[in-house]
Copies of this chain bind each other. A is one copy, B any other.
């Protein structure tokens, strides 16, 4: 597409680098910003710049945080004996939204993926092992990684790394989603839900 102005073209190019935003959506957003007040654009860019400059991570669990320790790690109401291991901060938010978990977290910052050049050294794995071996409180590690090949590989690697330490290592349940239809579940999920069946009473 031909743009009427170099400024528009540059802005569209930058905005369309965001995930899930193509050139057309980017143009729509950029034209919206032009129509609105200058203040709105400056508030947006200021918030993004401030975020990128000042973003910090919790020293204990490596979740995004405003302080040295995050609100979950410093809370007296959280059960410090259970650590839930997740890939990203957004997984923490997803689990927090369920209001079913009262333990603490450990954010790996990704999963082992040889294709994308991510090895165990790039993730917060050593810090997890150190945290578990130093602590006398931690009794259980829940692995809550995404059910992808990379997630499973990472779970397997973590399980081996945590062997020998006096903690129970568990994994979140895999099975048919609530509200899902058996008929439409894939064979692997349905198969796992049968082998990992739970007792009614």
Contacts and interface: CB of A to CB of B under 8 A. Distances in A.
Interface of A: 1-8, 10-11, 13-15, 17-21, 25, 27-34, 38, 40-56, 63-66, 70-72, 88-90, 92-93, 96-97
Given A4-B89, A14-B44, A64-B5, A34 B51 contact: yes
B27 A90 contact: yes
A69 to B, nearest CB: 12
B4 A33 contact: no
Contacts of A44: 14-15, 17-18, 45, 48
A92 B8 CA distance: 14
A30 B53 contact: no
Nearest to A54: B7
Which 7 A-B pairs rank lowest in CB-CB distance, beginning with the nearest? A45-B45, A41-B52, A14-B47, A14-B44, A11-B51, A4-B64, A7-B51
A45 B45 CA distance: 5
19 contacts: A2-B97, A4-B89, A5-B65, A8-B55, A10-B47, A11-B48, A14-B44, A15-B44, A15-B48, A17-B44, A18-B33, A18-B44, A30-B48, A31-B89, A33-B52, A34-B64, A41-B49, A41-B52, A42-B52
Contacts of A15: 44, 47-48
Given A28-B20, A64-B34, A48 B14 contact: yes
A92 B51 CA distance: 36
A50 B7 contact: yes
Contacts of A71: 4
B29 A64 contact: no
A72 B4 CA distance: 9
